[in-house]
Structures are given as structure tokens and as C-alpha cells.
């Protein structure tokens, strides 16, 4: 049975290596159903969402991990984020007609930069950047960890129109014999490399890990359930309007009768009438037309 919309940590006993495994189904489909992405774009978004799920599991504090690529190809921007509370959302921007004729990550994004952002609750946001010079998102993320985090990391990602999946193993700071640690890492990394995309998308977490590591002393922890969640609200939308300034917002309201803002993640629409805008900018006696 597939492990839909769950994430689990696993540990290799007697080593300094841990892992995360994730599968997304209904949460992934909920996001795709709100947009009209071509199949290749859906698959790339699925990989980004699976990767965000894996990376957020490595946080030691409440917060959000986001993975964003800014490109110069048919896809100009793609973003996925996951909170430590296991809430996911993602979006893609670009020329989808042109994107429908492409398949690979490089052809979709062209020359691109990958940004990994960590935003602790109530803390300062941190962002790391790396050029997308690998042929896959997993390769780009492995390069990021090698350059920025200096942690040996291997990631396998897969996605189709219905399911997204990922597996990550990571070597923590060594606490024991250096030669043994290196041998453990090389051995487990080689085993992970043998995992096929179709196995990730069809097998349960238990079956994937048994297929890969049945000769290892592996402990699989309890599953965490993931869900699509959008953090938009009328108050957050109002903050965006404030940044535009009273004159611009008042002009839109005067022309259209109200200001309507639709969330690009979930399609929720927020409507601000004349009294809302006057109160927002604390100008109760100022006519908008």
C-alpha cells in the first residue's frame, strides 16, 4: 500500500547517517487542480514539493523551508514550500504553451538560479543560492548541501501527474571512526542510487526501504501527515495593498468599484470596497473618486 501524503524519518543504527522519505498524492493533486499546467510542469512542481517536504524535516525549530528557481526558459519561476508543521504549497509561472513542448529541467528553466530559504518562526530569514548547473533538481540540491551546509547528502526525487516522492539520506557530523563513516556513506549512497522512479511512485515507504536497505539495521519512525495549506488571509492581502500606497489603490477602486485580489496559490479572492480601503489607509473622510 502506498504511503500517500506522509513523511517519515529513518535511522541507520550504528552509523551517523539518517534519512527522510516522503510521498505526496492528494496534497499534490489539490495544487495541480487549481492550475492548468502541462504534464512536464506538473512533474517538475511535484519534485520541488517533495524536495521541500524532505528539507523541512531537517529543521530543528518551527519554520518554513522554501525552494525557488528563477529561470530564463519557458518557466520563469517555480516555488514550493513546506512548514515544519507539514503544510505544503507551491506554484509555477511562465509560458505554459512553450513549456508543454519541453521535458527536461534545463530546457524548462534555461539558465537558472536555485534559492533555498529558511524562515524560522519569529526569527531572521536565511537564504542560500546556487546556480542550477546539474541536469536534475536532486543534483542541484546535493550541490547546494555540499557548498552551503557542508553535509554529505543524497536525494532521489520522482513525480508524475498524480504522485510525487522523494528520499534523502544525510551524513551528520562524524562522531566515530572516520574510515567506517566514509565506508558507510559510500555503501548506503550506492544502494540509494539503485532506486528507480517507478518504485518511488508505486511502492510504500516500507517496501522502498526494504528493497534498498534490507541488509541494514534500519529503524523507521512514525509517519507525519502532509497537507496542502495556503497561508493567505485578508489581513495579509491588506498588508500588500498598503505597500502599493493610497493613491494607486484608490484609483483601482474608483475605476472598478472595488479592489479584488486573488491568491495565486489557492484562488481565494479577497474584495476590498471603498470603506475597507479608507479604513485601511486611515482616511475615513477622503472620497476615492
Q: Where are the domains of the chain?
A: 6-228, 234-280
Give the integer Cα–Cα distance in Å for 57 and 138: 16
Cβ atoms of 260 and 240 closer than 8 Å? no
Instruction: Give CA angle at 146 (166, 19), nearest 5°.
Output: 35
Residues contacting residue 150 through CB under 8 Å, at least 6 positions apart:
none
Q: Which residue in 57, 86, 46, 52 sits closest to 68, CA to CA?
A: 52
User: 229-261 burial, b for 16+ CB within 10 Å, e for fewer?
Assistant: bbebeeeebbeebeeeebeebbebbeeeeebeb
Cβ atoms of 109 and 75 closer than 8 Å? yes
CA within 13 Å, CB half, 66: 16
Q: What is the pLDDT along the chain (289 residues), one digit of tens a residue?
A: 567 899 999 999 999 999 999 999 999 998 888 787 889 899 999 999 999 999 999 888 888 899 999 999 999 999 999 987 789 999 999 998 888 887 788 889 988 999 999 988 878 888 999 889 888 999 999 999 888 767 899 999 999 989 999 999 999 887 778 889 899 999 999 999 999 999 999 999 999 999 999 999 999 999 999 998 877 788 888 888 998 889 899 899 989 989 998 887 777 889 999 888 888 888 665 555 5
Give the integer Cα–Cα distance in Å for 22 and 5: 7
Among the residues of the chain, which ranges form H helices?
26-33, 39-56, 96-99, 105-109, 137-144, 178-193, 197-202, 205-213, 234-244, 246-256, 274-280
Q: 6-228: which CATH topology?
A: Hsp33 domain (3.55.30)
Residues contacting residue 262 through CB under 8 Å, at least 6 positions apart:
268, 269, 270
DSSP 8-state class, residue 79: E
Cβ atoms of 114 and 132 closer than 8 Å? yes
Helices (H) and strands (E) in the chain, counts: 11, 14
CATH entry 3.90.1280.10 includes domain 234-280: yes
Instruction: Give CA angle at 235 (254, 249), nearest 5°.
Output: 20
Q: Exposed, middle or buried: residue 33 (CB in 10 Å: 0-12, 13-18, 19+)? A: exposed
Amino acid at each position: 500500500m502506498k504511503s500517500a501524503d506522509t513523511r517519515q524519518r529513518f535511522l541507520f543504527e550504528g552509523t551517523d547517517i539518517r534519512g527522510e522519505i516522503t510521498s505526496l498524492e492528494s496534497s499534490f493533486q489539490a495544487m495541480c487542480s487549481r492550475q492548468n499546467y502541462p504534464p512536464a510542469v506538473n512533474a517538475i512542481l511535484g519534485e520541488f514539493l517533495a524536495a521541500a517536504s524532505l528539507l523541512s524535516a531537517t529543521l530543528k525549530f518551527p519554520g518554513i523551508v522554501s525552494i525557488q528557481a528563477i529561470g530564463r526558459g519557458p518557466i520563469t519561476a517555480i516555488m514550493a514550500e513546506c512548514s515544519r508543521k507539514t503544510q505544503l504549497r507551491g506554484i509555477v509561472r511562465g509560458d505554459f504553451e512553450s513549456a508543454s513542448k519541453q521535458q527536461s529541467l534545463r530546457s524548462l528553466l534555461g539558465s537558472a538560479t536555485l534559492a533555498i530559504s529558511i524562515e524560522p518562526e519569529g526569527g531572521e530569514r536565511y537564504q542560500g543560492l546556487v546556480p542550477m548547473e546539474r541536469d536534475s533538481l536532486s543534483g542541484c540540491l546535493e550541490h547546494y548541501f555540499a557548498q552551503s551546509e557542508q553535509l554529505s547528502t543524497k536525494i532521489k526525487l520522482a513525480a508524475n501527474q498524480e504522485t510525487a516522492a522523494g528520499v534523502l539520506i544525510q551524513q551528520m557530523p562524524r562522531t566515530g571512526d572516520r574510515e567506517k563513516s566514509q565506508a558507510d556513506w559510500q555503501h548506503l549512497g550506492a544502494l540509494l542510487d539503485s532506486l528507480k522512479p517507478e518504485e518511488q511512485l508505486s511502492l510504500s515507504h516500507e517496501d522502498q526501504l526494504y528493497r534498498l536497505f534490507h541488509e541494514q539495521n534500519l529503524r523507521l519512525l512514525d509517519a507525519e501527515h502532509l497537507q496542502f495549506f495556503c497561508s493567505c488571509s485578508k489581513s495579509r492581502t491588506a498588508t500588500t495593498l498598503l505597500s502599493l500606497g493610497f493613491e494607486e489603490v484608490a484609483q483601482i477602486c474608483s475605476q472598478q468599484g472595488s479592489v479584488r485580489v486573488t491568491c495565486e496559490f489557492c484562488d481565494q479572492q479577497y474584495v476590498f470596497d471603498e470603506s475597507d480601503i479608507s479604513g485601511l489607509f486611515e482616511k475615513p473622510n477622503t472620497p476615492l473618486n
